[in-house]
Amino acid sequence: MIAEWFGRAGNFSLTLLIVTVYGLLVGAFIERTIAKVQGRIGIPYRQPFINILKTLVKRTAVSHGIMFYLGPVFRIAGGIGTLAFIPVIYGSETFANFSYAGDLFLVIYFMFFGQLGMALGAGESGHPYSAIGIARGLSQMTAYEVPFALAVISIVIQYDTLSITEIVAAQQGGWQHWTLFTNWVATLAAMLAFLGMTGYSPFDIFLAPQEIPIGPPTEFHSAYLSLLQTNRALFGATKLVLFMNLFFGGATGWIELMIKTLAIYMVAVVVGVAFPRFRVDQSIRFFFKIPTLIGIISIIYVQMMFTS
């Protein structure tokens, strides 16, 4: 048993490395895509790796409370914990991670863990605007998690399981078995919530790049900023894998995974470059109206179609 757990830990370490590198490359690709749309050249693909190495070797003489420095640690722990219980490649023993030991609700918990830890860290920064950023971030997170949770409940009822592996297994046999086609209402609610999860315009209210030049890139520094940069790539790629597993049939190979996750991500990117940023109240009202209503309809739909 111990040898088996060590083996799975080794396999997960390999998965963690691959998914993190993939997330960094996808991030660079998206940045270059947005730059092309705006008439700029964009960053080279190696730039995210250079940024992480550059900040990792720096030291800091700035002193804050202990929770300030635990924020990035909690953040990346949430990203690693989320990935740990998600099967990356369906049918692969190497890339199954610890999916047999957890369920969908545990994965959602880890998604919350990192974000709440980051909010606690920002709260101890001492910056007068940190409370504004925390209020915006947690308010929007609560708003988009409601339709996402409703979509998850819908597919849990549909497949009668909390196991992500079993949900992926139920979608095998052809594209017509994907949740996208068997429960398109839940997929629509989840994809609208996904727009908020990515933080692109019009839902980048907690970053507010046009408003105030502060936030994690300036508040955190040295190795702490390196953790945040690494987690941004890891957590972003992990959410893409989760959405692929729940709504788009999962992946039986890396090429299929890359095609599907890039297609999912491009939805948020296209919306981000096409629409201006919402105000805080506009963003929250949007998620509590249209996506939440669709999420409720998805539960009614699945009760009518898949339960007797």
d(CA 273, CA 194): 16
Reported as a pLDDT band with limits 50, 70 and 90, residue 213 is low
- Enter the pTM of the model: 0.89
What percentage of the chain reaches a pLDDT higher than 90? Answer: 35
Structure-block tokens of residue 130: 């940190």
Please write the tens of the pLDDT for every residue from 2-17: 777 777 788 888 899 9
In whole angstroms, give the CA distance from residue 180 to residue 288.
22
d(CA 240, CA 262): 8
Cα separation, 194 vs 241, in Å, equals 12
Residue ranges with strand state E in 44-137: none
Whether residue 207 is predicted with pLDDT greater than 70 in this model: the reply is no
When pLDDT is averaged across residues 281-295 and rounded to a whole number, the result is 90
| Average of per-residue pLDDT across 67-73 | 79
- Three-class DSSP category at 183: coil
Higher pLDDT, 210 or 151: 151
pLDDT of 141:
84
205 vs 182: CA distance, rounded Å: 33
Cα distance between residue 77 and residue 227, in whole Å: 10
The per-residue pLDDT for range 144-178, each reduced to its tens digit, is 989 999 999 999 999 989 999 999 999 998 899 99
